[in-house]
Structure 1
């Protein structure tokens, strides 16, 4: 049996009729087929239903916010930085938890049944803020624009990209506060990479051949 099989606590009629032991779920369903990990006895049991609570969700996307709701396992711990699929009237989207509203305050981690509102940011498709300076020009002669890209699109310091009629070389990446797995807030060494959904701002050198003005 795979180590990834679902495991549930149940009484075993063969070796432990009065106390629960760990069972592997061999075949889920109304009457699930389970196997006791203590003695190997296989039997059918009705599994307890997972308790869920309907929780308010606020989604931030492209500078705007809108409400939604999601069913959350009552005893599951939620934490900032975690992502989940959210079904709304308009679409199914991937969102990342940015904070959890519990009572009168905000927390980074809480049990599902204690959470009043889950504050999130859409990360399936994102807008990346870019600061560009001209090729061979001064760094104070800059312009800013936004790039619309998939959240998992990877930008690499030192590499040249061409997106939305913009050609540029990445020189530095400012990482978002809710991103996890990065050692520094700003990455500027060749080979450093960050996916779009984790980027607060992208610093680039413009590689276009046409002249342009900061104005």
Structure 2
């Protein structure tokens, strides 16, 4: 991690995120440790400063059909996997991304690799995501379906059988299609049982039945 006061670094927060890195501000350094403050919950704690060899790799980040390239620096011998997540910091934003492909050379892709062997990480932003929804009318006439795109946090949960409201849209969730690179152990690529739950960053498409009062009116 960084040793410079004032910088922002990704580390685990013992208060709000003990298993996943969040953005922290470095307050002070010295004696082999740094005092850092979690930007999510404000918790202040000590973090060891490790001196180790690092390596840099290009990162292509895709979000809402667009992409940009930046770089990331990490311990050279750290192994990164497809489906793994890390924080990318640019001048414009700090975002969490999921690795969708690891390029170690021309025409060469691996499912895992040490950072020092990586040329490019191909990733998708997952802290805030767009979810496509296909909404069917109550009467089941498929030729009157409509498409809706929702913008939600990546950890937002969609639960089959629940009725949800987003702005003017109100629908019951009837099915969820899972992304191919989802890391959680979903039982099927498409779920349809009441109570099945999927976080937004793992969703390819949501299917729903319209529940608005004025649904499908010709007037």
Tell me, yes or no, if the aligned pair for 2:56 and 2:115 is still in contact at 8 Å.
no
User: For the structure 1 residues 198 and 48, does the alpha-carbon distance in structure 2 shift closer, same or farther, using more than 3 Å as the test?
Assistant: closer
CA offsets, 1:114-139, max 9 Å, x none? Answer: 00000100001100011110122323
- Please give the root-mean-square deviation of Cα atoms over the aligned residues, in Å: 2.0
- In structure 1, the gaps of 5 or more residues are 1-27, 33-46
What's the counterpart of residue 152 of structure 1? 155
1:169 counterpart (168, 172, 176):
172
- Once the two structures are superposed, residues 175-201 of structure 1 have per-residue CA deviations (whole angstroms, 9 ceiling, x without a partner) of 001111212101100000000010000
Q: How many residues align?
A: 173
Counterpart contact for 1:56–1:69, Cα < 8 Å: yes
Which of 183, 189, 213 is residue 187 of structure 2 equivalent to?
183
Relative to the length of structure 2, the TM-score reads 0.74
Q: Equivalent residue of 1:171, what SS?
A: strand
Question: What residue is the counterpart of 1:198 in the other structure?
Answer: 202
**Runs of 5+ consecutive residues of structure 2 not aligned to the other structure:** 1-28, 34-48
> 1:141: Cα distance to partner?
2.6
Greater Rg by CA: 1
Instruction: Specify the alignment match of 1:135 in structure 2.
Output: 138
Which 4+ residue blocks in structure 1 deviate beyond 3 angstroms? 28-32
TM-score w.r.t. the length of structure 1 is 0.76
> Which residue of structure 2 lines up, in the alignment, with residue 211 of structure 1?
215
**Equivalent residue, structure 1, for 2:79:** 77
CA contact (8 A) 2:103 2:121 kept: yes
